[in-house]
Amino acid sequence: MEEKKNFTIKDWAEDDRPREKMLQKGATALSNAELLAILISTGTREESALDLAKALLLKSSNNLDEISKLTPIELSKSVKGIGRAKAVSISAAIELGKRMRFSDPIEARQFSSSEAVAQDFMVTMSNLKQEEFWIVLLNKANKEIGRYRISTGGISSAQVDNRIVLKYAIENLATNIILIHNHPSGNLNPSRDDLNLTKNIITCCKPFDISVLDHIMIGNKRYLSFSEEGYLI
Contacts of 206 (CB under 8 A, 6+ apart): none
176-182 and 132-138 beta bridge pairing: antiparallel
Amino acid at 164: I
Residue 168, Cβ neighbours under 10 Å: how many?
16
For residue 37, what is the DSSP state? H
What type of residue sits at position 110? Q
Residue 173 main-chain phi, psi, to 5 deg: 55, 40
Phi/psi at 117 (5° precision):
-65, -45
pLDDT recorded at residue 109: 81
Question: Cβ distance 183 to 149 under 8 Å?
Answer: no
The structure's pTM equals 0.59
Strands (DSSP E) found in the chain: 132-138, 144-152, 176-182, 211-219, 222-225
DSSP state of 28: G
- CATH superfamily for 114-229 is Cytidine Deaminase, domain 2 (3.40.140.10)
**Ranges of each domain in the chain:** 9-101, 114-229
Q: For residue 1, what pLDDT is reported?
A: 46
| pLDDT at residue 16, rounded to an integer | 58
∠ CA 174-201-142, nearest 5°, is: 30
- Residue 102 carries which DSSP code? T
C-alpha–C-alpha distance, residues 137 and 143, integer Å: 8
Tally of residues, the chain: 233
Residues 181-217 pLDDT 10s:
999 888 999 999 999 999 999 999 999 999 999 999 9
Residue 155 to residue 57: CA distance in whole angstroms:
58
In this predicted structure, what is the pLDDT of residue 126? Answer: 78
- What is the reported pLDDT for 50? 92
Scored b (16 or more CB within 10 A) or e, 94-108 reads: beeeeeeeeeeeeee
- Which segments in the chain show pLDDT lower than 50? 1-7
Question: What single-letter amino acid sits at 228?
Answer: E
Q: Could you give the 3-state DSSP secondary structure of residue 213?
A: strand
At 143 the three-state DSSP class reads strand
